[in-house]
Amino acid sequence: MRLTLPLIAPSDPRESEELTRLVATMQGTYSKGRHTPAGSAESVDLQALSRILAESRDPSALEDAWSGWHRVGRSMRTDFVRYVELANRGSRELGFADTGEMWRSKYDMPPDTFAREVERLWQEVRPLYRSLHAYVRSRLAAVYGPDEVPSDRPIPAHFLGNMWAQSWESIYPLVAPPEFSARFDLTPALVARGTSPEQMVKFAESFFVSLGLPTLPASFWERSMLVRPRDREVVCHASAWDIDFVDDLRIKMCIEITGDDFTTVHHELGHNFYQRAYARQPFLFRDSAHDGFHEALGDTIALSVTPEYLREIGLVAEVPDPSQDLGLLLYRALEKVAFLPFGLLVDRWRWDVFSGAIPPSEYNRTWWELKERYQGVAPPSPRDEGEFDPAAKYHVPSNVPYMRYFLAAILQFQFHRALARAAGATGPLHRFSIYGSREAGRRIQAMMEMGSSREWPDALEALTGERRMDAGGLLDYFAPLQRWLDAQTRTGSAPS
C-alpha cells in the first residue's frame, strides 16, 4: 500500500491541500503554454511548436520555437521547489528517505539495487547510442554547416526534430543517405486516405483483437476524448484511464493524423488492454508488474506495425524492397535508440533533486549537465538559472515518474523478440509482425492478467521465459544497423 501512489501527501491537511494545488497549478501552466513564433501574429500551442521543430529546416525558426516553448518553465520554479519539499515530507512520513527513494522502491528489489540495475542496462545500450549520435551529428553538420553543428561539440537540441530531443525520427529525411530512398513516415498515407482520429484508434484496436483480446467496450468510444475540444483548455499530453478499475476504459488525447500519433494510439491502448486484463485481481494488484511493463505493452505492439503489416491491412499499397531495411532500422533507431539517454536522465535529475543533492539554485545547470553527459545535446544558446527547463517537459510539472519509459524502451524489444520467436519468426526481428498470432496473444494475456500480484520477474517469465531485464533484444534488433553506422563514422567524438 505504501507503494501504490507516485505522490504521498503529508498528513497535515493544509499541507496536503497545498501540494495538490501546486501540482494542479503547474500542470495547468504547462497545458496552457503558448508562444508567438517570430514573424507570426498569433500565439500557438505545444503541438504547433512541435510541428515547427519536426518540419522546419530554418535554424532561426527552430531556435525560436524551441526557446519560445521553454519559457513555460520559468514561472513554475517557485512552485516546484515547494512541491519537492512537501512531496518529500509525505514520503518521509511513510518511512522513505525522500520521494526519489520512494519511486526507486517499486521494483521488487532494494532501491539502490534498482539504481544499479538501471546503470547496467544503460551501459549495455550506450555504445549503440554513441554510434547513432556520431552518425547523426555528422549528417547534421553536412546539412547545416559546421558553425551550426560543430563536429566536436554536443548537438544543439533544436536540430533534432523534437522539443526535448527525445526522439529524432522527424529528421530521418535529413540524415538518411540518398540511397535509402524509401520513406517510413506513415503520415502521408494516413492523410491521403482521409483517416479520422476514431479510425486511428480502430486500427490499433483491431491489432489487439487479432491477438485474441476482446474489443473495447462501447463506453470507451462514448467517453474517450480523441480530439482537442474547441470550447476549453485541456491537457493534451496523451493518457489512458481506467476510471472504475473494472471496465470504464478511456483515452484522452488530441489526436493528429500523423505516423507519430498512430504509434501513440497503440501505446495508449496498450495501457487500456493491460488495465482490463488485471481487472479481476484484488484491488491492490490492479497494476502492471512494474511501471515499465505498462509503458512497454503498447509499444511492443507498435513494433509489429511493419511495412508488411501495413500492406496487409490496406494502409499502404507497396512494401519497400528488403534492400531498404537499413533505412527502416535507421528510422526506428531515431525513434527508439535516441530516446534511451533521455529516458534515463529525467529521473536521474529528479532523484538528485528529491535527495537534495541538487539544490534549487542549480536546477537548470545540472539539467543541462545531464543532457550533455547522457544525450550529448546542448541548448541553442546559454541558459541560466532564470530559466527552468526541466518543467518544459510534461512529466516534471505533472509528477509522473520517468524511469518507466527507459525500462519500457528496453523491455519492448525483449518482449518483441520473445513473442516473435513464440509466433514462429525465423527472419530478422524488424521484419516480423505478431499480427494475428494467438500464441503471442496468449503470452501477453498471461503476463497482463497477473497484474502486480507477483514480483515482476514472474510476469516477465510468463511472456518471455526470462527473469532478468535484458537489452539483448534491442541490440539484436539493431545489430545490422550498428555495423552500418560504425562503418559510416568514427565514434571517437561522441558523448562520453
- Residues near ligand X8Z, by CB under 6 A: 238-239, 264, 267, 405
Burial string for 146-163 (b: 16+ CB within 10 Å, else e) reads eebbeeeebbbbbbbbbb
Stretch that binds Zn ion, among 129-137, 288-296, 412-420, 467-475 (CB under 5 A): 288-296
CA dist 346 and 397 (Å) reads: 12
Cβ nearer to ligand X8Z, comparing 133 with 267: 267
CA 224, 228, 233 angle in degrees (round to 5)? 105
Stretch that binds Zn ion, among 13-21, 295-303, 311-319, 330-338 (CB under 5 A): 295-303
Burial string for 13-45 (b: 16+ CB within 10 Å, else e) reads eebbeebeebbeebbebbbebebebeeeeeebb
Q: Which does 290 bind (CB under 5 to 8 A by kind): Zn ion, ligand X8Z, none?
A: none
Which grid cell sits at 278?
A: 488485471
Which grid cell sits at 221?
A: 468510444
Cα separation values, 435 from 234, 312, 322, 474, Å = 34, 10, 20, 20
Q: Taking the complex as a whole, how short is the minimal distance between the CB of residue 272 and Zn ion, in angstroms?
A: 11
Cα separation values, 441 from 209, 259, 364, 374, Å = 9, 24, 45, 36
Cβ nearer to ligand X8Z, comparing 235 with 238: 238
Q: Which does 405 bind (CB under 5 to 8 A by kind): ligand X8Z, Zn ion, none?
A: ligand X8Z
Q: Taking the complex as a whole, how short is the minimal distance between the CB of residue 492 and ligand X8Z, in angstroms?
A: 30
Cβ nearer to ligand X8Z, comparing 26 with 423: 26
CA dist 130 and 274 (Å) reads: 34
Bridge partners of 239, per DSSP, are 252
Q: Which residue, judged by CB position, is nearest to ligand X8Z in the bound state?
A: 238
- Work out whether the CA dihedral 167, 169, 173, 175 comes out positive or negative: positive
Q: Are 416 and 299 in contact (CB under 8 A)?
A: no
CA dist 387 and 131 (Å) reads: 32
Which grid cell sits at 209?
A: 483483437
Stretch that binds Zn ion, among 13-21, 175-183, 248-256, 287-295 (CB under 5 A): 287-295
CA dist 378 and 165 (Å) reads: 10
Q: Taking the complex as a whole, how short is the minimal distance between the CB of residue 127 and ligand X8Z, in angstroms?
A: 23
Q: Are 357 and 181 in contact (CB under 8 A)?
A: no
Q: Which does 264 bind (CB under 5 to 8 A by kind): ligand X8Z, Zn ion, none?
A: ligand X8Z
Q: Taking the complex as a whole, how short is the minimal distance between the CB of residue 294 and Zn ion, in angstroms?
A: 7
Strands 239-242 and 249-252, sheet pairing: antiparallel
Radius of gyration of the chain (CA): 22
Q: Which does 239 bind (CB under 5 to 8 A by kind): ligand X8Z, Zn ion, none?
A: ligand X8Z
Q: Taking the complex as a whole, how short is the minimal distance between the CB of residue 267 and Zn ion, in angstroms?
A: 6
Q: Which does 104 bind (CB under 5 to 8 A by kind): Zn ion, ligand X8Z, none?
A: none
Q: Report which of 35, 342, 333 is spatially closest to residue 165, judged by C-alpha positions.
A: 342
CA atoms within 13 A on the CB side of 4: 9
Write down the residue that cell numbers 487479432 correspond to.
210
CA 54, 123, 411 angle in degrees (round to 5)? 65
Q: Taking the complex as a whole, how short is the minimal distance between the CB of residue 390 and Zn ion, in angstroms?
A: 19
Cβ nearer to ligand X8Z, comparing 166 with 364: 166
Q: Taking the complex as a whole, how short is the minimal distance between the CB of residue 131 and Zn ion, in angstroms?
A: 28
CA dist 24 and 30 (Å) reads: 10
Which grid cell sits at 10?
A: 503529508
Cβ nearer to Zn ion, comparing 155 with 269: 269
Cβ nearer to Zn ion, comparing 256 with 295: 295
Q: Taking the complex as a whole, how short is the minimal distance between the CB of residue 321 and ligand X8Z, in angstroms?
A: 30
Cβ nearer to Zn ion, comparing 98 with 291: 291
Which grid cell sits at 265?
A: 494510439
Q: Which residues inside 343-402 make contact with Zn ion, applying CB under 5 A?
A: none
**DSSP-based three-state secondary structure for 266:** helix
Catalytic residue numbers?
237-238, 267-268, 271, 295, 395, 405
Cβ nearer to Zn ion, comparing 202 with 395: 395
CA dist 39 and 429 (Å) reads: 46
Cβ nearer to Zn ion, comparing 242 with 295: 295
Q: Taking the complex as a whole, how short is the minimal distance between the CB of residue 153 and ligand X8Z, in angstroms?
A: 25
* Interface with Zn ion (CB under 5 A): 295
